[in-house]
Amino acid sequence: MSARVLFAAGEALPFSKTGGLADVAYALPRALVRAGLDARVLTIAYRGALDRLRDARPLTELDVRGQRMRVWEGTVDDSGLRAWLLDHPPLYGRAGSPYVDEHGHEHGDNAWRFGCFSEAIAKLALGVNGVGWRPQLVHLNDWHTGLAALWLGRSAPRPATVFTIHNLAYQGVFARHEFDALGLPPEEWHPEAVEFYGGFSFMKAGLLRSDAITTVSPTYAQEIQTPTFGERLDGVLRVRAGMLRGIVNGIDAQTWNPAADPLLFQTYDGGTVDSGKRANKRGLQAQLGLEVSDARPLFGFIGRLAPQKGADLLLEVREAFARGGAQLALLGAGDRGLEEAFRAWASTAPDSVAVHVGYDETLAHRIEAGADFFMMPSRYEPCGLNQMYSQRYGTVPIVHRTGGLRDTVSDLTGILFDHADAGGVRYALSRAFELFAEPARLRAMSARGMARDFDWSVAARQYVELYEGLARPRA
Ligand code: ADP
């Protein structure tokens, strides 16, 4: 099959990134191209993004709600993957990240910014602007693209649509006046359409109006059909259960390869893992000002400091860390209160706890390689990437048995615990300390993790199968 697939996302590496979606929006289309598909990425030209588009040339101009927007075409890297970037500086060229300003506040016009993006996706997919290449299938991602499913659903003929949930908690719910400003048809303001508890929801539009829904792990696909994880959309998801499946993300096996990772203190593979990890642990301890010691178990944490990720639980078990002689290397940013609390902890125990607030790719790689254990006490986790990186790097992941963590970590390659609370984490820590005291067992677990295959080709095959069942013209 050489289907033409347009892959649309509100963030995509190498142009932008706030989280796992950007990794997926880079790696999956590349894997689709490798699998023989004619896939292209469509994302937004945030400030500076066009500098990273290779061989950039203007593709077309679009009229979106009275605004003249530019679309640039170019290549992403040497893989041959092509990208289209929607460029309109008044909306997208601002300081800050894709969704928030430089002070961490949501842009006040996000409904308009992503509503316009969604409409642009639909227009480009329908080829309204004389662009020769038209997709047979549009793959939409998260709420930023949800209204594209609605616009496409109202058009005929049209390409098929797949909508992927990367995180159901972020839904894009806005007020009636935004609905009107975006020119949405009045009949869509209905509980069985996009109306949602007095506002309207981009996410709900994606769920109701796409031809198929996926999410990023089979367990999360089940969980989101329950009130506990369903974020008030579990009912919609149960109705559409027949169209919903979970496909676990892969990892970028080139960027995350301990045998050829230029960011490490020392590269290693299965044969040199003992000395390699020792060197990386020492290097990391030294870089972070921790006591340099092989004898102390070193735990890593990388991620957004948000309730989802459960970093607060680590603060609750400080004594357990101390009793076990453990060290912690934490890299993350987000909630200001949590940032402060972790800094305060580090200042009372600088030999044992290192906290780096911010975003740091190099340090992320070094923590993955240098830690003995990697903590992911997420309360929920659609897929999660770091637990896969950990296994590849011979680092034992410690995860809450939920979502993608449950689907990618087994009792043979990591430590799973059942309750995302202090008791659960304490239990997991005690298991980790036991394991650390038995190096042969720890090594065996680490080796089994390193031997696992998390390559994107596995996921790409499942997406291709899904597309094949959908990609025909819709009358
Ligand atoms: P989410 O998308 O929910 O934030 P994921 O685990 O799916 O979580 O993906 C997060 C990605 O961002 C991972 O690649 C992770 O390593 C990276 N990351 C998160 N925080 C940081 C940080 N402070 N510094 C470097 N990388 C980070």
Query: What one-character-per-residue DSSP string does 395-463 give?
Result: PEEEEESSHHHHHH--TTTSEEES-SSHHHHHHHHHHHHHHHT-HHHHHHHHHHHHT---BHHHHHHHH
Separation of 426 CA from ligand 1 center, angstroms?
24
Q: How far apart are CA 318 and CA 309, in angstroms?
A: 17
**Cβ distance 139 to 7 under 8 Å?**
yes
Separation of 21 CA from ligand 1 center, angstroms?
9
pLDDT of residue 474: 59
74: part of which helix (H) or strand (E)?
strand 67-75
Q: How far apart are CA 222 and CA 466, in angstroms?
A: 18
In this structure, which residue's CA is closest to atom 22 in ligand 1? 359
pLDDT of residue 472: 64
Separation of 303 CA from ligand 1 center, angstroms?
5
Task: Please give the model's pTM, rounded to 2 decimal places.
Answer: 0.94
Q: How far apart are CA 59 and CA 57, in angstroms?
A: 6
Q: How far apart are CA 439 and CA 227, in angstroms?
A: 42
pLDDT of residue 5: 97
**What sign for the dihedral angle of Cα 307, 196, 168, 88?**
negative
Separation of 358 CA from ligand 1 center, angstroms?
11
Write down the H helix ranges in 50-94: 89-92
Q: Which of 1, 108, 87 has its CA nearest to residue 43? A: 87
Sheet holding 298-305, edge to edge: 353-357, 327-334, 298-305, 373-376, 396-400, 415-417
- Assess whether the previous peptide bond of 258 is cis (omega < 30° from 0): no
Separation of 20 CA from ligand 1 center, angstroms?
6
For the Cβ of 19 lying below 6 angstroms from any atom of ligand 1, the answer is yes
pLDDT of residue 475: 52
pLDDT of residue 430: 98
For the Cβ of 302 lying below 6 angstroms from any atom of ligand 1, the answer is yes
Read off the amino acid at residue 135: P
Q: How far apart are CA 445 and CA 95, in angstroms?
A: 45
For the Cβ of 193 lying below 6 angstroms from any atom of ligand 1, the answer is no
Classify strands 373-376 and 298-305 as parallel, antiparallel or unpaired. Answer: parallel
Q: How far apart are CA 316 and CA 330, in angstroms?
A: 15
pLDDT of residue 128: 78
Q: How far apart are CA 125 and CA 157, in angstroms?
A: 11
Q: How far apart are CA 28 and CA 40, in angstroms?
A: 10
Which backbone phi and psi does 225 adopt, to 5 degrees?
-90, 5
**Cβ distance 239 to 208 under 8 Å?**
no
SS (H, E, C) 83-102: EEEEECHHHHCCCCCCCECC
pLDDT of residue 20: 87
pLDDT in tens, the chain (475 residues): 479 999 999 999 999 998 889 999 999 999 999 999 999 999 999 999 999 999 999 999 999 999 999 999 999 998 889 999 999 999 999 988 899 998 889 999 999 999 999 999 999 999 977 788 999 999 999 999 999 999 999 999 999 999 999 999 999 999 999 999 999 999 999 999 999 999 999 999 999 999 999 999 999 999 999 999 999 999 999 999 999 999 999 998 888 999 999 999 999 999 999 999 999 999 999 999 999 999 999 999 999 999 999 999 999 999 999 999 999 999 999 999 999 999 999 999 999 999 999 999 999 999 999 999 999 999 999 999 999 999 999 999 999 999 999 999 999 999 999 999 999 999 999 999 999 999 999 999 999 999 999 999 999 999 999 999 996 655 5
For the Cβ of 364 lying below 6 angstroms from any atom of ligand 1, the answer is yes
The tokens for 219 are: 């367990």
